[in-house]
Structure 1
Amino acid sequence: MAIIFYPAHYLHHVSIVYVSAHPSIPSGQYEEAVRMVLDNAPVNSKDVGLKEAASALILRGMSSIRTNQIDAFVGGLNQKQLDTLMKYIYRGFQKPVDITCPALLTWHEKVWKLSSICRVLTDRQVV
């Protein structure tokens, strides 16, 4: 069996995915995990595994935040975080694994008011 060494940032994101998947974690932890990924989104990485892990984490976190809490959560984000969140919403529409399309539409409705869709669609840095 070969030992595989991963960069620290990759292991950090993978460990976040594992922790967030555990069902006994309070929902407040999901909000923090989503914020962490938004602040450290692997937009410049070419590592597909890292991007998939970050996407899975953020979509799972979004699905765990209650609908009545979305406005407060989105209101606490800065413009860069909102743009990155919108990118993940669009990515979720491509592969709705842990979150349904109606839930993504709810998120889209809350975020588009504060985020420029044109800026997100023309940005060359993908999540």
Structure 2
Amino acid sequence: MDVSFRKIDIDQYDEDVLLESELCEPDPRDPAQVLNDAKQKAAAVRQSLARGDIAGALTTALEDAPYGPHVDEAKNLTLQTVVSILNSTKSTEIPNIVRALSPDAQDVLMKYLYKGMAMPGWGDVSGSVLLGWHEKLTEAAGTGCIVRAMTDRRLV
């Protein structure tokens, strides 16, 4: 049986197809600069965690999140940084930390929670940690945070 017809990209013949580059504006920074910024943020987060400033560390990690093509290494480094913060936080401290975040930072945190859940085997973080953060974030930010995280084309 001939199945070669399944390998044809029919979108190439469609004039109205949307490209990813048309859906959102790419990150204006150079990919090398984005990676350098992610490394600096990771170092700043480690210092904040050493001082016990979890809210400050999370705020630092969530600002200017890398997005767009060609910055996958920076995205993975930032995800690891956020996951390290999530793992090192006591469950009783989560509600206060989430309330201290700005609405934009809450939306970015929700994106990282979903990215962590999408990892095979959930990566370095246990499911209970991600779901606990998701619960507390949804209580503080409402379900609109979920909708904004899922509809935003800028993927972290």
Question: TM range, normalised to the smaller chain?
Answer: 0.7 to 0.9
CA contact (8 A) 2:44 2:60 kept: no
CA contact (8 A) 2:113 2:130 kept: yes
Cα deviation, residue 12, structure 1: 3.2
Q: Name the CA distance, whole Å, in 2 between partners of 1:20 and 1:119.
A: 26
TM-align CA RMSD: 2.2
Q: Name the CA distance, whole Å, in 1 between partners of 2:63 and 2:46.
A: 20
Cα deviation, residue 101, structure 1: 0.6
**Which protein is bigger by CA-based radius of gyration?**
2
CA contact (8 A) 2:35 2:71 kept: no
**Residue 126 (structure 2) pairs with residue 97 (structure 1):** no
- Classify 1:19/1:36 alpha carbon distance in 2 versus 1 (closer, same or farther; 3 Å): closer
Paired residues in the alignment total: 120
1:17 partner letter = A
1:63 pairs, out of 87, 92, 95, with 87
Q: Name the CA distance, whole Å, in 2 between partners of 1:109 and 1:48.
A: 28
Q: Deviations over 1:52-106 (max 9, x none)?
A: 0000000111111111110110001111111000000001112222321111000
Higher relative contact order (CA 8 A, sep 6+): 1
**Residue 143 (structure 2) pairs with residue 119 (structure 1):** no
- Classify 1:39/1:45 alpha carbon distance in 2 versus 1 (closer, same or farther; 3 Å): farther
Identify unmatched segments of 5+ residues in structure 2: 1-30
2:38 pairs, out of 2, 6, 13, with 13
Identify unmatched segments of 5+ residues in structure 1: 1-5
Runs (4 or more) in structure 1 with deviation over 4 Å come to 18-22
How high is the sequence identity, in percent, across the aligned residues? 24
